[in-house]
Amino acid sequence: MRPPPAIILFIFFILMYSESPAQPASPDCRSFRTGNFLFTDSAGIPWELKRTKHRQAERNKSNGTVIKFKINWFNDCEYRLTQTWSNDRVHRKWNREHFSYRIISTTEQSYSCNCLCKNGPVLPGGTVVRAGY
C-alpha cells in the first residue's frame, strides 16, 4: 500500500526546511545604548567612550583629547552622533556635524559598526568593546 501523495509532499517539505541553513540572527544592539566602552581608531590610538541615553563622550587615552556628542538612535542598530564640543582645536571644526553609524554584528561584550558618513573626517567602522573585558 502506497502512502497518499499529500503525506509524501509533507515529508519532502519538512526535510527541505530542516536541511536549509538557518537565517542569521539579527544583532542584539540594545545592550550597547549605554555604558563604558573602548575602541582603537584607524591610527592605532585607544579611545574611551562613555555613553548615556542621549550623550556620548570620547577621550583619547594617548593625549587627553575629549569629544562630546549628542546621540540619536534611529532604531536598535543605527544611530547618529552630532558633535557638540571638543577641547581640541583640530576637532572643534566638526562641531554640529553628524556622523551616522550602523551596528553590523554583536557579541556579548562588543559590537562592530560601519560609519555611514558622507562628509567630515574619515571615520571607518570598527569594533567597540565594553570596558572591563
How confident is the model at residue 70, as a pLDDT? 98
CATH number, residue 117:
2.40.128
Structural domain includes residue 62: yes
CA 69, distance to chain mean position in Å, is 16
pLDDT, tens digit (0-9, with 9 covering 90-100), for 56-99: 999 999 999 999 999 999 999 999 999 999 999 999 999 999 99
Structural domain includes residue 4: no
pTM as predicted: 0.76
Structural domain includes residue 15: no
Q: How many domains does the chain have?
A: 1
Structural domain includes residue 10: no
The model's confidence at residue 13, banded by pLDDT at 50, 70 and 90, is very low
Structural domain includes residue 17: no
The boundaries of the domain holding residue 98 are 32-130
Compute the distance between CA of residue 23 and CA of residue 33 in angstroms, rounded to an integer: 25
Structural domain includes residue 8: no
